[in-house]
Amino acid sequence: MSRIGKKAVPVPAGVTATVDGQKVTAKGPKGELFFVANDEITITFENNAVAVAPANQTKDARSKWGMSRTMIENIFKGVKDGFERKLEINGVGYRASMQGKNLQLALGFSHDVVYQTPEGITIAVPKPTEIVVTGINKQQVGQVAAEIREYRGPEPYKGKGVKYAEERIVRKEGKKK
C-alpha cells in the first residue's frame, strides 16, 4: 500500500483543476500544466481534491500509484508558486553572466560556455558566482540545473566547479610528502 498515494491532493487556493479521464489539468497564476496518468491508475475529483487509486491490485499498478499522486501535487505547486534551483560556482576566475537570454559561463576552459535558456525556464545571475534557475515544471527546472552543473561538476580536492547550493562536497585529502 502506498502511504503517499492514499492521501488526496488538495487543490490550492488560486488554482483551478480539471480531471478528464486520465488527464489532470491545473491553471494558476504562473501558467498551465497537465499530467496524463497511466491506465492502471484511476483519478477522481471530489471535495476540491484529486484522489488517486490503483485500478487493480497488480504490482505494476501499485508502483505507479504514489508517483502519480506526487506528479499531480507537483503540477499544483508549480502553477501556484513555481520551482527554483540554486547553483554556486567555486574557483578562481569561474563566473557566470547573462548575455541576453543566454547564460555565459567562464569555467576555466579556453572558451566561454554559452547555455541557451529553454522555453519556460528563467535563469538569473544575482552574483557572478550564483545562478538561479526558476520555472513551473519541476522536472524541467531540475534538468536545466543538471545540464549547467554538467559543464564543470565540483571536483573532490579543492571543490572547484559548479555545484547545487545545498550540495555538500566530500573532500579528499591531497598527496603527502
**pLDDT exceeds 80 at position 53:** yes
150 & 114 share domain: yes
pLDDT above 90 covers a percentage of the chain that reads: 81
Final residue before a domain boundary, out of 80, 107, 132: 80
59 & 96 share domain: no
74 & 123 share domain: no
User: Per-residue pLDDT tens for 89-126?
Assistant: 999 999 999 999 999 999 999 999 999 999 999 999 99
**pLDDT exceeds 80 at position 15:** yes
**pLDDT exceeds 80 at position 2:** no
User: Confidence class of residue 88 from pLDDT cuts 50, 70 and 90?
Assistant: very high
Q: Report yes or no on 173 lying in a domain.
A: no
User: Confidence class of residue 3 from pLDDT cuts 50, 70 and 90?
Assistant: confident
Q: Report yes or no on 172 lying in a domain.
A: no
Final residue before a domain boundary, out of 14, 48, 80: 80
Q: Are 148 and 165 in contact (CB under 8 A)?
A: no
User: Confidence class of residue 1 from pLDDT cuts 50, 70 and 90?
Assistant: low
Hey, which bits of 1-151 come out as E strands?
A: 9-10, 16-20, 23-27, 32-36, 41-46, 49-54, 83-90, 95-99, 102-106, 113-116, 121-127, 130-135
Domain count, the chain: 2
Q: Report yes or no on 171 lying in a domain.
A: no
8 & 66 share domain: yes
72 & 35 share domain: yes
> Rounded to 5 degrees, what are φ and ψ at 59?
-65, -40
Q: Report yes or no on 118 lying in a domain.
A: yes
Position 69 scores a pLDDT of 92
Final residue before a domain boundary, out of 31, 63, 80: 80
Q: Report yes or no on 55 lying in a domain.
A: yes
97 & 137 share domain: yes
Q: Report yes or no on 169 lying in a domain.
A: no
Structural domain that includes position 58: 3-80
Position 5 scores a pLDDT of 82
Q: Report yes or no on 176 lying in a domain.
A: no
User: Per-residue pLDDT tens for 26-47?
Assistant: 999 999 999 999 999 999 998 8
In sequence order, the 6+-apart residues with CB closer than 8 A to the CB of 114 are 99, 102, 103, 104, 105
- Mean pLDDT on 11-33: 92
